[in-house]
Structure 1
Amino acid sequence: MTTLDDAPNPTDLTNPLRSLSATEIISARTILAEAGHVSTTTRFVYVGLDEPEKTAILAFEAGSGPAPDRRARVMLLDTATGDALDAVVSVSLGHVISTDEIDHAVGQLPILDAEFELVAEFLAGEPRWRDALRKRGVDPSKTVAVPLSAGTYENPGEAGKRIVRSFAFVQQHDKDLPWAHPVDGLCAYVDIINRELVDLVDHRVFDVPAESGNFDTPEVAGPPLEGLKPIEITQPEGPSFTVSGEHIEWANWSLDISYDQREGLILRKLRYQGRDVLYRASINEMVVPYADPSPSRYWQNYFDTGEYVFGRYANELALGCDCLGEIYYFDLTLADEQGCPRTVKNGICMHEEDYGTLWKHSDIFTGMSEVRRQRRLVISFFTTVGNYDYGFYWYLYLDGTIALEAKLTGIAFTAAYPEEGSDHQTLVAPGLGLPYHQHLFSARLDMMVDGLANAVDEVDAVRVPMGDGNPWGNAFTVARTRIASEADGARMADAGSGRTWHIVNTEKTGRMGHHPSYALHAEQTPMLLADPESSIAGRAGFTTRALWVTRYDASERYAAGDFVNQSALGQGLPAYQAADRPVDGEDIVLWHTFGLTHFPRTEDWPIMPTDYAGFTLKPYNFCDANPVMNVPPNASKHCCSDDR
């Protein structure tokens, strides 16, 4: 195991896209305080790198431009007034670049941890809330409040206010997992700033499910499973990668990484065999829309990135549990709500994995028999947002393939199951239901395939009708449709045609005259299932299409817009696309929506086995031949040989 603390080389301070350091976070806070923007009631909702324009970075790297200014983007909330500020600070030059007041008609800043605590304290003393609990036979002192993002609805008394909605769960003792005991049919609408109960939805009394969900106890989990022998993964000569600060070299790959408290892990400047593939890749947004239309639950649509800033909840990973093998850890430096730096130890995990057969052939004419093993470099982090735990694993393969896998586990959100049954839940324990829902992610892929002049071809398998040229009816072919402008750039996946999207360099060709490209392979899962006229469809427009292609714009960073909490409809990708800029032979960004639709099963309770969602990028005519013919045979003692 290696960590950033004992890395052989320090962070490369010439990298203008490196993660903000503790010193820079302190500087940003100091600059804003000296400019009069920080009071005793100010909280720092987000602190991250304000990234320079791509052209400025490329010019600097080419030696034809100056080192870009190091800037921090800081979002501030006054918890006394609700006033919100979006500021940019130069930590290099020591002054404020800009400050913009956030219009609450557009959206609110993400919710603070301190605000969740405040709502719980407020409801604990709220008479109407306590009376509603007692009406259900529930002791208010035995409940916990679960405040959640409110969404955007035209409810009376909510316009312009900072709202959260809260459920109650019974917690029998300090170690009792309350998710097993929802107090359903009841929901509080709270104005955080004014400490006011805007509304109390009390539409139905359910019995509180009593069965324990404490899966960490033998009473629920059962006796330990016997017979499993240890699995140890070793690399006696050490790992094959090298690390210098946030720069990584492995096999045919080179890249930089960084970490942002909103987006989490960011991959930068990926190059394969010395050639550009991706300038920047991240998970920029995710939303979890629920399907229960009941009066107390219709609003459940959580943007874990834009509303909760999920990168700040990164787990400290443990060797042998979260990561297995020869592990390299990166520590994370984030800002807390006071604007001070804090460290997440072992926040990013990196290691190599064997991945089976890379290629193999046994020849009937020559007697030759050759096999090579595939391996991949894994770079990952885990974050916990309330009841769910999400792992994001980026895979780089020897053959130039890139893949992203989201791992979903934790505890599914619970509800009381109606006696008459439900079309929107699964009964998983006596009186306990798990509502149907989706997890929809947006990957922002700032492509740079062999340079900036890129385009996207939609590629479909096509059946050729029997007739002239196909008298036996066996023919099929491929159809390519070039996406010329943003107006045509919102696309749907199609499993029936095996649809892929090829990101093509329009200026270069390989040995055989092909334009080098990378092919995006989607998993062909459903997009948003809510009605197109619904609030969530208007706020999460990115979830209505599997692919969006836009012209690069440094200010267009998030698929659902900058200010997602209580956001106005139509922001993010639909607004970006409306510019209808050309995208053929241009500097382009792909936004890929992927995820899963969860109809829970009894096996998902009380702790979910990990589920998976993701996508793959594969080189297509990028190399002139198989790029891994030169991978040597496996020298492991576990490989068979003539002296066996």
Structure 2
Amino acid sequence: MTILDPVAAPSATAPSDAHPLSSLTADEFLRVRDIVSAAPDFTPTTRFAYVGLDEPHKREVLAWQDGDGPLPERRVRALLLDMATGRSTDGIVSLTSGEIVSTFELDGSHGQLPVLIEEFEAIGEIVAADPRWVDALALRGCTPDNVVCVPLSAGYYGHPEEEGRRILRVLAFRQDHPGDHPWAHPVDGLSAYVDAANREVTRIVDAGIMEIPAESGNFDDPVVQGEPLTTLKPIVITQPEGPSFTVDGEWVSWANWRFQVGFDTREGLVLRQLSFTDAGEERPIIYRASINEMLVPYGDPSPVRFWQNYFDTGEYLFGRFTNTLALGCDCVGEIRYFDAVLADELGNPFTIENGICMHEEDYGTLWKHSDMFTGSNEVRRSRRLVISFFTTVGNYDYGFFWYLYLDGTIECEAKLTGILFTSAYPGLDADGNDYPFASEVAPGLGGPYHQHLFSARLDMMVDGLSNAVDEVDVARVPMGAGNEHGNAFTKQVTRLTSEQGAGRVADASVSRAWFISNTERRNRMGRPTSYALYPTESPVLLADEASSIAKRAEFATKHLFVTQYDPAERYAAGDFVHQNPGGDGITAFTAGDRPIDGEDIVVWHTFGPTHFPRPEDWPVMPVDYAKFTLKPHGFFGRNPALNIPAPGAAAHCAPGGHAGQDHAEHPGHAGHDHAEHGGHGLDDHGH
């Protein structure tokens, strides 16, 4: 990863490019390609399904940073697929020694490698060569030339003919002209199951002809958009002295925060070693934070849709679809971009320019009080540092925004936009009831009910490696002795002691939160230093617990899991998600019921919305939001933002003026929001 326009000279204390967690460079990707392709079992049809840093054990990295250990070996994980035979391998390459350290061949019993772009691109040709598919399209007034085929991950349903084969399931959408968005015209009632490796259709499912919705969904057509709104005036926010952050390679310092920015093909943006300097001491909070998995399960049980559930991280590697944001974009504030360097399916490096955006935002009032006794009248303004990226996975666009605040708060917010995955809407039944599994979003066009369930992997390090988790609920106190007037309430604290008991569900009725504390360190009141995880209460996976998807995605059945740290346990649904029958990921990680009280722990948090689509979500969806918050709770001895200077210039604090509007009162974000500016070039940024 590289940064454009570094804003400060390298710090004397910042790690160098030799840091064991530094992102892989283009030269390193080339070395991996050359080492792997020289192996005797590498063929002309072998493709690189994934190439990424094989991160050293946390303790090795920390020992090296403290000067107590050697520089860990630089290793890379490479997943390979032979397109001709389907042979799949999981290998480790040492860049230190220039050798392949290990190679493991997959047999498919625990899932397949992620779906390749090359496989996606071949699907249209494969189904067009099958006369059953062509005939079924003809019955619906279509041909292979006027439909687009959407290849989708298959899930696992025990079909005998699919065992050990790389399967994709296909739905079709009519496209009326080259500029027509086909999502408006689903060719419903029809799907094809395809063996991508052998290039054959294994099954055609024809559940009956349904009328293809005719109305255009071309949201980029000025006729569809309507008369432009002309009453909006410009909003301009500037930082005439430049941004407050400094950057040295991938390391960022801002206010009291310090951390490393990283990027991975599978997970996208990764933040490492987040720490907060308190009274001169750099105190660790999170060792590694990422969105490690994202599940989109659909709730329509129709014969051609029951299998719709996508793991956009594990099956599709959503990091590779990250949007480029153009320099010169007409956005607010001082923007700094990071490039992401990845490997393509031939092992060659490629660069996503400006893949990560970083900037500051004003965030209204930080703290304020007007005192009736002393006459004191003090106010401080809040701001936050935003680190974000946007990725487009098929029809949906997802932004992931990490926010760091001056008072030590950390937030992660997902922004969801793009186009609904559509169906034909069957209309009312004989009794006049609506179809129970989709909304009608346009005439004859359905938006199936679905969920977006994100898994955040939070490798915690609150003041060190000895951490524990308490579940904290508010509790009513019955009226009686000691509570004669019935006004009392208190908190109920439950220590989570082992992995099997740490699968927990959020509960708004008791204001449930999870406190992650250090079992060895105390604050000035003599209590453990801690951070509290505040979830947004929303449903977990709604599929039946006996369903295939529930077995494959146990992580999504709870809001919280806690595991003992193991560097091999990176993904909540397991390493190989595509066609995995279940039992991996969180299910396997917690099977040993390891202790988690006073241990080096990882917190897995599931969050995200349940979506009943609205007409207002069509033809392009306004941004929806999902988030969680980590707040210091006894981590500091007092308000850590007391020393924030008061607004200095009169123009910034003028009675009756328009400067410095309070973000809390005006919730539209003042800073650069990728959702507002697109991500594919200057035209998408309004130029």
| 90, 97, 103: which one aligns with 1:93 | 97
Q: Secondary structure at the match of 1:378?
A: strand
1:196-595 map, 5 Å: 196-273=200-277, 274-318=282-326, 324-420=332-428, 421-595=434-608
* 8 Å CA contact retained: 2:3, 2:249: no
Residue identity in the other structure for 1:221: Q
C-alpha deviation, 1:451, in angstroms: 0.4
Q: Secondary structure at the match of 1:55?
A: helix
| 617, 631, 643: which one aligns with 2:630 | 617
**Alignment of 1:130 onto 2:134:** yes
* 403-412 vs 119-128, greater mean Cα deviation: 119-128
| 73, 84, 88: which one aligns with 1:80 | 84
* 8 Å CA contact retained: 1:495, 1:524: yes
Q: Which residue of 2 aligns with 1:150?
A: 154
Task: Please give the per-residue CA displacement for 1:307-345, whole angstroms capped at 9, x wherever unaligned.
Answer: 000001000013576953210000110101110000001
Q: Which residue of 1 aligns with 2:188?
A: 184
C-alpha deviation, 1:6, in angstroms: 5.4
* 8 Å CA contact retained: 1:9, 1:245: no
Q: Secondary structure at the match of 1:507?
A: strand
Residue identity in the other structure for 1:138: C
The whole-number CA distance in structure 2 between the counterparts of 1:183 and 1:171 is: 10
Q: Secondary structure at the match of 1:25?
A: helix
The whole-number CA distance in structure 2 between the counterparts of 1:435 and 1:476 is: 43
| 166, 173, 180: which one aligns with 1:169 | 173
The whole-number CA distance in structure 1 between the counterparts of 2:330 and 2:41 is: 41
The whole-number CA distance in structure 2 between the counterparts of 1:5 and 1:47 is: 28
* 8 Å CA contact retained: 2:318, 2:393: yes
* 8 Å CA contact retained: 1:440, 1:593: yes
Q: Which residue of 1 aligns with 2:4?
A: 4
C-alpha deviation, 1:487, in angstroms: 1.6
* 8 Å CA contact retained: 1:362, 1:369: yes
Q: Secondary structure at the match of 2:34?
A: helix
Residue identity in the other structure for 1:488: G
**Alignment of 1:68 onto 2:49:** no
The whole-number CA distance in structure 2 between the counterparts of 1:458 and 1:299 is: 35
| 175, 186, 199: which one aligns with 1:195 | 199
C-alpha deviation, 1:39, in angstroms: 1.7
Q: Secondary structure at the match of 2:119?
A: helix
Distance 1:6 1:362, change over 3 A: closer
Q: Secondary structure at the match of 1:487?
A: helix
* 266-275 vs 123-132, greater mean Cα deviation: 123-132
Gaps spanning 5+ residues in structure 2: where?
429-433, 658-687
Q: Secondary structure at the match of 1:533?
A: coil
Task: Please give the per-residue CA displacement for 1:91-133, whole angstroms capped at 9, x wherever unaligned.
Answer: 1220011100012011000101110111111122221111100
C-alpha deviation, 1:638, in angstroms: 3.5
The whole-number CA distance in structure 1 between the counterparts of 2:587 and 2:74 is: 31
C-alpha deviation, 1:7, in angstroms: 5.9
* 8 Å CA contact retained: 1:323, 1:349: no
Q: Secondary structure at the match of 1:29?
A: helix
The whole-number CA distance in structure 1 between the counterparts of 2:608 and 2:330 is: 22
Runs of 4+ in structure 1 over 4 Å off: 5-11, 319-323, 641-644
* 8 Å CA contact retained: 2:3, 2:250: no
Task: Please give the per-residue CA displacement for 1:232-285, whole angstroms capped at 9, x wherever unaligned.
Answer: 221000000000000000001011110001001111011012101000000000
Q: Secondary structure at the match of 1:26?
A: helix
1:30-45 map, 5 Å: 30-45=34-49
Distance 1:603 1:638, change over 3 A: farther
Q: Secondary structure at the match of 1:346?
A: strand
Gaps spanning 5+ residues in structure 1: where?
none
Q: Which residue of 2 aligns with 1:605?
A: 618
TM-score by length of 2: 0.92
**Alignment of 1:121 onto 2:125:** yes
C-alpha deviation, 1:540, in angstroms: 0.5
Q: Secondary structure at the match of 2:579?
A: coil
The whole-number CA distance in structure 2 between the counterparts of 1:538 and 1:287 is: 13
The whole-number CA distance in structure 2 between the counterparts of 1:638 and 1:356 is: 16
Task: Please give the per-residue CA displacement for 1:368-425, whole angstroms capped at 9, x wherever unaligned.
Answer: 1010001000000000000000000000000000000000000010000003341000
C-alpha deviation, 1:366, in angstroms: 1.1
* 8 Å CA contact retained: 1:12, 1:246: no
Residue identity in the other structure for 2:564: R
**Alignment of 1:23 onto 2:27:** yes
Q: Secondary structure at the match of 2:520?
A: coil
The whole-number CA distance in structure 2 between the counterparts of 1:248 and 1:150 is: 41
Residue identity in the other structure for 1:626: N
Distance 1:489 1:642, change over 3 A: closer
Distance 1:519 1:52, change over 3 A: same
Residue identity in the other structure for 2:40: G
* 8 Å CA contact retained: 2:548, 2:581: no
Q: Secondary structure at the match of 1:508?
A: strand
Task: Please give the per-residue CA displacement for 1:220-240, whole angstroms capped at 9, x wherever unaligned.
Answer: 111211111111221000000
C-alpha deviation, 1:55, in angstroms: 0.9
Residue identity in the other structure for 2:218: N
The whole-number CA distance in structure 2 between the counterparts of 1:355 and 1:543 is: 32
Residue identity in the other structure for 1:285: E
C-alpha deviation, 1:574, in angstroms: 1.4
Q: Secondary structure at the match of 1:449?
A: coil
* 8 Å CA contact retained: 1:130, 1:140: yes
Identity of aligned residues (%): 62
Distance 1:337 1:591, change over 3 A: same
Task: Please give the per-residue CA displacement for 1:138-158, whole angstroms capped at 9, x wherever unaligned.
Answer: 133111110000000022411
TM-score by length of 1: 0.98
The whole-number CA distance in structure 1 between the counterparts of 2:394 and 2:474 is: 43
